[in-house]
Structure 1
Amino acid sequence: MSVSTAEKEERTPARHRGNWIEDWRPEDPSFWRRTGRKIAWKNLGVSIVAEHLGFNVWTLMSTVVVGLDEAGHSFGVGQKFWLLILPNLLGALLRVPYTFAVPRFGGRGWTTTSVCLLLVPCAMLAAAVAAENTPYWFFLLTAATMGVGGGNFSSSMTNISFFFPEHRKGLALGLNAAGGNIGVAVSQLLVPLVVHLGTGVSLSYAALMWMPVIILTAALSWRFMNSLTAAKPDNGSYREALTSGHTPVMALLYVGTFGSFIGFSFAFPSLIGIAFSDFSSFTGLAFVGALIGSVARPLGGWFSDRIGGARITMWNFLGLAAGTVGVLAGTRLDNFAVFFGSFVLLFVLTGVGNGSTYRMIPPVFVREAEQRAARTGEDLETAHRAAKRRSGAVIGVVGAVGAFGGVLINLIFKFSLQATGTLTPALMSVLLLFLLCAATTWWCYLRADIPRADRARAADA
């Protein structure tokens, strides 16, 4: 009995060449059900662990810096903030090349390599804190190398996006992003406990505790992950993304959300000790902010699906402005409860804003593609496919630019404390940033004089 070509294709599993998969059809329901789903979720599981570990190492200095004085390394406030700024800066810069590494080296090969690179900052930190006369420049170099953990986010998200069909990418990427972000909280929870094991403080434990986990995760990545030959770079979409007027707008909004999240995460333990020295023992609770912010990220997407990404984003920025006023009131009134509670609110809202801002991007570029198709006569289906590629490229660009927001936040805190000895100028600057982002969201996507059809699509974004 003859078998049709379609039936033969349906029965044919994904073709492998070693750990490279040459035939990958996630949009084919039968292929996905029979073969693709199991492979994709296996790769996602290992990817979450690898990205989580990257965030553990990326934010490691935020917990180490508060114990430097006790360990015999006395640096000024400005010097300590540079130790927080450099991981932010290098992590943001590395997000661009890390995005293109997966198509070049394969998801399996690059994930394994990027995890192994995390051993470098851990080894350097262990050496830096081992002797009391370690020069400051070596601490700076160590902090900079921790940026490799920040680059992991882009390569991990890029890699996983190729494995899943369009209608499942939201869940997969949301789990991947949340699993990475929670690494900040895990690091800030566990490191203070580990460095105080035994007598005194042993900051070398902060580095050594991650090294066996890094080696194990690298082995798991090499053993269980796959690479897709279909994961090819789309350089044309990146060029188009850079020329779109929406890209700088979305980048600004993501600076206000993710940039604030990662900037606050780095600074929060130090700010507790600086602003409320009598409550310095509470720095161990700093993990609560990062944890709640990470968990809140999927809520931003969920609310946006029901209410509209632009609406949620605008109101979220107004909430962030109110939370900043609360932090400012806590410092002015010398009220730790108000300060801490308001900062936790900021973390919640930055998490929600991360999700809602990302949710805005695809519909905005679909609308732009439809307008161009109406002008040029381009086929609508072709325009929609191009919009998907372009929005994917924009997500990569926005993610890289947004990470620079963490640098901005910590520079603001540094200069404020050095110039005035207080957080007031810094908090006023952050307040203005959030109000600017709220106004930008309203002006670009929600104001009444935008054409009705465009406003409806933007509001749903």
Structure 2
Amino acid sequence: MSRWAGRWIERWDPEDERFWDEGGGRRVALRNLVFSVLSEHIGFSIWSLWSVMVLFMGPEYHVDPAGKFFLVAMPTLVGGVLRVPYTFAVARFGGRNWTIASALLLLVPTVTAAVLMKPGVSYTTLMAVAALTGVGGGNFASSMTNINSFYPLREKGWALGLNAGGGNLGVAAIQLIGLLVIATAGATHPRVVLAVYIPLIVVAAVLAALYMDNLTAVRNDTGAAIDAAKDPHTWIMSVLYIGTFGSFIGYSFAFGLVLQNQFGRTPLHAAYLTFIGPLLGSLIRPLGGRLADRFGGGRITLWTFLAMAAATGVVVVASEQKSLGLFLPGFIVLFALSGLGNGSTYKMIPGIFHKKAEARGLTGEDAAAYGRRLSGASMGLIGAVGALGGVGINLAFRESFLNTGSGTPAFVSFLVYYGICFAVTWAVYLRRPANSPEGAGPAAPTGATVYAEV
């Protein structure tokens, strides 16, 4: 496994346990995972930058609450769209090479915001600057696709959960930095937040250049993208991922605004609280992947959606009663559950396509290669649609506050969606065919399939 000559690895076979344990495969994969997490972490911070910037936007900016919800939805929209090309950039340029490039691209929105973020700037300009931060959302797709290629199926849940969880922590990190700046320098110094991140972006790019690798086995395969887009499981998993990741990123961007508009919190009080949910949701994501490795992603996802619906019910009651003491624990539990579901749903993706490979009669490395090919392609599509769910959440809050002055109608709509996701998970991935005896093995991936272990 040469790490030189442009840092391309010629042979990579993680499903071979001897190669993985004795041939250095695990060590190389872990090294790439560590620096992938770092770059993705900073990407998430920049993607969620405007969830912090709006806390600095006092009356002198002349932006009403509805305008702020639309402002924080813009990066989610752009980031969701960019996830598709970012997925295939790994195969086109190499995982290491694209990690360097995507990290350096984060300088564009941060430097631009540092120059333009000030009272008197037009709302159109703010929208354009916010849109630029969408590049941080694309980093997730390329990072997950890259790490998916490094790890064997038996460890993907843990590896993808750790990669995504470490990235998701970027949301909590920038909100903590925003809290620190508001508490010390006041709510009129947003550039201090940007001054922290600009050098960190450069450091992440340099470390990726020094310590990451490209895999020659990962080739740009437009056929895989077409096959993934044609497969119904790609779109079914997209629906579920809207419920988990769409909730996580949507709530992360909206939490501070909800606290200000629903409960009258000041920017400082809101900043004290907003980081808690994203922090717990990020930390628990690897656990969701680990539980999915052990018990099956379908089972963990099913019960997660049921629990999310219950937590949303608590939030609806708290919203109606305007009880911050009940709202905070309910909403934070909802955050944590969305993180758990993020880990379990992403574990399901490679498992589903591996099952499809086995149903085609493939075994061993042939089945693993087929699964990697389609799961890597589908991750970009699923991740993009899931991120767009975050746009839906912010737009739902915008309409809810605009028309009723409360977030209750939005939360009721989210509760209904979680119920739909629960039903879809059971019907597609856990329901046994009527003619399947108890204890029968998984059927082929058509009709009423049994995918409990994916």
**TM-score (normalizing by structure 2):** 0.90
Tell me if the contact between 2:109 and 2:132 (Cα under 8 Å) persists in the aligned partners: yes
Correspondence for 1:205: 192
Match of 2:406 in 1: 422
Q: Provide the C-alpha distance between the structure 2 equivalents of 1:106 and 1:448, rounded to a whole number of angstroms.
A: 41
Residue equivalent to 2:209: 222
Q: Which amino acid aligns with 1:354?
A: N
Residue 308 in structure 1 maps to residue 296 in structure 2: yes
Length, aligned pairs only? 442
Task: Please identify, of 149-158 and 229-238, the stretch whose mean Cα deviation from structure 2 is larger.
Answer: 229-238
Check 1:304–1:34 CA distance in 2 against 1; reply closer, same or farther (3 A cut). closer
Quote the Cα distance in structure 1 between the aligned partners of 2:294 and 2:209.
40
Is 1:367–1:457's contact at 8 Å kept on the other side of the alignment?
A: no
The higher radius of gyration belongs to 1
2:121 pairs with one of 126, 129, 134: 134
Residue aligned with 1:61, SS: helix
Q: CA deviation at 1:369?
A: 4.2
Partner letter of residue 460 of structure 1? E
Q: Secondary structure at the match of 2:261?
A: helix
The amino acid across from 2:167 in the alignment is: G
| Residue identity opposite 2:249 in structure 1 | I
- Which residue in 2 is equivalent to 1:151? 138
Aligned counterpart for 2:173 among listed residues 172, 179, 186:
186
* Mapped contact 1:115–1:218 kept (Cα < 8 A): yes
1:459 aligns with 2:452: yes
> Is this contact kept in 2: 1:446–1:458, CA < 8 A?
yes
Between the aligned partners of 1:383 and 1:169, the Cα distance in structure 2 is 15
Q: Distance in 1 between matches of 2:70 and 2:407?
A: 17
| Structure 2 match to 1:109 | 97
Amino acid across the alignment from 1:66: L
Give, in whole Å, the separation in 2 of the partners of 1:301 and 1:395: 15
1:273-305 C-alpha deviation (Å, 9 max, x unpaired): 110005654312110000111111122233334
5+ residue gaps, structure 1, are 1-12
Q: Which residue of 2 aligns with 1:66?
A: 55
1:83 CA drift (Å): 1.1
21-30 or 394-403: bigger deviation: 21-30
- Give the letter aligned to residue 112 of structure 1: I
Match of 2:424 in 1: 440
CA distance in 1, matches of 2:159, 2:291: 18
Aligned equivalent of 2:30: 41
RMSD in angstroms over aligned alpha carbons? Answer: 2.3
Indicate the residue corresponding to 2:40 in structure 1: 51
1:411 to 395, 400, 408: 395
Q: Choose which of 55, 68, 76 in structure 1 pairs with 2:64.
A: 76
* Number of the residue aligned with 2:336: 348
1:335 equivalent among 323, 333, 336 = 323
Cα shift readout 1:371-407 (whole Å, capped 9, x = no counterpart): 4x3xxxx555555653443233323321221111101
Displacement of 1:182 after TM fit?
A: 0.8
| 2:187–2:267 CA contact under 8 A, matched in 1 | no
Q: What is the alpha-carbon distance in structure 2 between the residues aligned to residue 85 and residue 292 of structure 1? A: 22
**Whole-Å separation in 1 of the counterparts to 2:218 and 2:357:** 24
Query: In structure 2, the residue corresponding to 1:194 is in which secondary structure?
Result: helix
- % of aligned pairs identical? 45
| Residues 383 and 391 (structure 1), Cα distance of their counterparts in 2 relative to 1, 3 Å cut | same
Deviations 1:288-343 (A, max 9, x none): 00011111112223333444322322221121111111111111111101111110
CA contact (8 A) 1:195 1:206 kept: no
Equivalent position SS for 2:184: coil
Does 2:388 correspond to 1:395? Answer: no
Offset at residue 450 of structure 1 (A): 4.6
Cα shift at 1:97: 0.6
CA contact (8 A) 1:58 1:146 kept: yes
Alpha carbons of structure 1 residues 306 and 155: separation in structure 2 relative to 1, 3 Å: closer
1:6 corresponding residue in structure 2: none
Note if contact 2:46-2:133 (Cα within 8 Å) is conserved in structure 1. Answer: yes
Deviation, structure 1 residue 15: 6.4
Aligned AA (1:219): V
Q: How does 1:351-366 map to 2 (within 5 A)?
A: 351-366=339-354
Q: Judge which range, 42-51 or 336-345, deviates more.
A: 42-51
**Cα separation, 2, equivalents of 1:342 and 1:145:** 33
Helix, strand or coil: the match of 2:451?
Answer: helix
Alpha-carbon distance in structure 2 between the residues aligned to 1:28 and 1:246 = 27
d(CA) in 1 for partners of 2:310 and 2:268? Answer: 27
- Of the candidates 234, 242, 259, which is equivalent to residue 229 of structure 2? 242
Question: Which secondary structure does the structure 1 equivalent of 2:193 belong to?
Answer: helix
Structure 1 residues 202 and 231: CA distance shift in structure 2, 3 A: same
- Return the alpha-carbon distance in structure 2 between the equivalents of residues 380 and 224 of structure 1: 33
Structure 1 ranges of 4+ moved more than 6 A: none
Matches of 2:430 and 2:17, distance apart in 1: 37
In structure 2, how many angstroms separate the alpha carbons of the residues matched to 1:304 and 1:229? 29
The alpha carbon displacement at 1:25 in A equals 4.4
Q: What code does the residue aligned with 2:143 have?
A: S
TM-score (norm 1): 0.89
CA distance in 2, matches of 1:384, 1:24: 12
Deviation at 1:98, TM superposition (A): 0.6
Counterparts of 1:383 and 1:183, CA distance in 2: 35
Cα offset for 1:460? Answer: 2.3
| One-letter amino acid of the structure 2 residue matched with residue 389 of structure 1 | R
Q: Any conservation in 2 of the 1:314–1:441 contact (CA below 8 Å)? A: yes
Greater CA deviation, 131-140 or 451-460?
Answer: 451-460
Separation (CA, whole Å) in 2 of partners of 1:448 and 1:103: 37
Which has the larger displacement, 223-232 or 111-120?
223-232
Secondary structure of 2:54's counterpart equals helix
User: Which residue number corresponds to residue 291 of structure 1?
Assistant: 279
Task: Give the distance between the partners of 2:180 and 2:41, measured in 1 at CA.
Answer: 19
Q: 1:253 to 1:21 in 2, by over 3 A?
A: same
